[in-house]
Structure 1
Amino acid sequence: MKVPPVARVPWGRAACPCPGLTRSLSITSADQSMFEKAQGEKVTLPCTFVLSDEDEGPLDIEWVLIPADNQKKEQIIIMYAVDRIYNHYYAAMTGRMQFTNPDPRSGDGSLDILNLKSADTGTYQCKVKKAPGVQSQKLQLTVLVKPARTKCSIEGSQEIGNDIILKCASQEGSPLLSYAWRRVAGTQELPATSMLNKNTGELLLKNASQDYSGTYTCVASNRVGTDECFVELNVTPPINTAGIIAGAIVGTLLGLFLLAFLVFCCCKKRREKKYEKEVHHDIREDVPPPKSRSSTARSYIGSNRSSLGSMSPSNMEGYTKTPYSQVPSEDFERTTGQNPNFAPSKYDIAHKIGDITVV
């Protein structure tokens, strides 16, 4: 009986294994379809196949990334065609992808992706074609981020009888993250009153006692890794708040008194400087220097002598007796000004003008 030729099927659709027909190309690595890896690791997406005698056309192997959005087109990643490898289609993976076997004609078209990133998560499809056989296989890759930069902290006053919360959170890491607390020393068991929330990483210690003191560690984990941090808890007796308040009040009062004293000293110093400047200014501008009594009297007498010397003997008669009241003297003017009835004698006038007496 003559076997009819195998019908050609569209690209991407497997050949129908109908009874009475010889099977063509088949993919043998269909056992696992989902892969989970950590960021930075390497993954091998399997795509092994077996050819039949019916497959006589050129071998084509193509890896594509199927977007989650059905409106977007498939993105070719790498291709083997006409005995050549083409790997320049997808810039996001340039230098990070390769065929596991440099010669895919051996029946191994598996794909290696190096240094995985979270953006590499997606659905990948391997298409193998050797006419008339065509086969394809889809694989789901999920790239997870390990927990990293986990930080521990304490919330609440670390005093006996208080409720204390130990907090733990990872800055990086793919969900779902799980947190676990334990004590570093001793039995590593948590206090009996503790309550742990594995999803948030909070550990509540109710009615804390000094026995709760010690070092605690928190471990954050997901399906691809773990990370941990440490915190030191020191539960102490309550602080004497009354003494602290009294001391604060006394210290405040002393500080205010000292401040007031400094302000008073500064104001007093400024007033003294201002007074000194005003007194110095008054003496320099308002008070004239005192005049010499003897110089005033002598200058007056000298002027009279000059006047007398310039007169002739015939004109001297009217000036032989000069009234005493015309002799200038500061003391004389001051005395007569104070007492209008005062009449100086000729001895007083002679004493004022020195050793010269007018006859």
Structure 2
Amino acid sequence: FPNGTLVIENVERMSDEATYTCVAKNSQGYTAKGTLEVQVMVPPVVQPFSFGDVAMNSGQVVTTPCSVIEGDHPLQLRWLFDGETIKPRSGATVFNIGERSAILSIASVSHNHAGNYTCVAENEAGTDSHTATLIINVPPRWILEPTDKAFAQGSDAKV
């Protein structure tokens, strides 16, 4: 631009990360220059994960990794359950393995664990996430347990 502004669109680390120098010269021949370093940060990319194609049975163990396959440090990883931070006493535990991976582990799944689990990765350049649904088979239970009824012979029975 005529005002000396440099615009680099769609920056890429390999081609655009460098030291840039701007030199200004006036009509009297005086020059001034300034130098700046351009660093390109890569946003995180979360590798997709799933809980498998079949529902888990109550009491089974669930272990699922979340891995960041691309992105610059520092990274922050966190797991969410139905959009909320996983609570400490929920029966679900998160094990951080280095800065690029975290394992979600549930020692004994129950109907309370059914829902959407999201792994979120963040750095200064951006955020990425992946969500998978955990389906749990649970034994049937009575909503309203039936009770025995006695009716007089010849009367109408309504249950």
Who wins on radius of gyration, i.e. which is larger? Answer: 1
Name stretches of at least 5 consecutive residues in structure 1 with no aligned partner: 1-99, 103-107, 238-359
Question: Which residue type is aligned with residue 107 of structure 2?
Answer: K
CA contact (8 A) 2:46 2:121 kept: no
- Partner residue of 2:110? 209
Distance 2:128 2:11 in 1: 19
1:62-211 equivalences under 5 Å are 100=1, 102=2, 108-119=3-14, 120-130=16-26, 133-148=30-45, 150-154=47-51, 158-184=56-82, 188-191=84-87, 192=89, 193-196=91-94, 197=96, 199=99, 200-211=101-112
1:231 is displaced (CA, Å) by 0.9
C-alpha spacing 1:189/1:175, structure 2 compared with 1 (3 Å): closer
Other structure's SS at 2:50 match: strand
In 1, Cα distance between the equivalents of 2:22 and 2:105?
51
Q: Is the 8 A contact 1:178 1:201 kept in 2?
A: no
Which runs of 4 or more aligned residues in structure 1 lie more than 6 Å from their structure 2 counterparts after TM superposition?
none
- For residues 146-201 of structure 1, give each alpha carbon's deviation from its aligned partner in whole angstroms, at most 9, with x where no partner exists: 3346412348x94444442232234443333322211227xx34252333328313
Aligned to 1:211, the other structure's residue is in SS state: helix
Higher strand share: 2
Contact persistence 2:77–2:102 (CA under 8 A): yes
Letter in 2 for 1:115: N
> What's the counterpart of residue 262 of structure 1?
none
Instruction: Report the equivalent of 1:221.
Output: 122
* Whole-Å separation in 2 of the counterparts to 1:170 and 1:160: 30
Rounded to whole Å, the distance in 2 between the matches of 1:137 and 1:189 is 46
RMSD value, Cα: 3.1
Larger relative contact order (CA 8 Å, sep ≥ 6): 2
Question: What is the distance in 1 between the residues matched to 2:48 and 2:76?
Answer: 14
Question: Contact (CA 8 Å) 2:116, 2:132: kept in 1 or not?
Answer: yes
The count of corresponding residues between Structure 1 and Structure 2 is: 130
Unaligned runs of 5+ in 2: 139-159
Q: In structure 2, what is the Cα distance between the partners aligned to 1:203 and 1:210? A: 17
SS in 2 for 1:201: strand
Q: 1:22-42 CA deviation, whole Å, 9 max, x = no partner? A: xxxxxxxxxxxxxxxxxxxxx
| Structure 2 counterpart of 1:165, one-letter code | T
1:112 is displaced (CA, Å) by: 1.3
- C-alpha separation in 2, matches of 1:222 and 1:202: 19
Give TM-score, length-normalised by structure 2: 0.63
Counterpart amino acid of residue 213 in structure 1? A
Q: Which has the higher helix share?
A: 1
The within-5 A match list for 1:33-44 is: none
Letter in 2 for 1:203: L
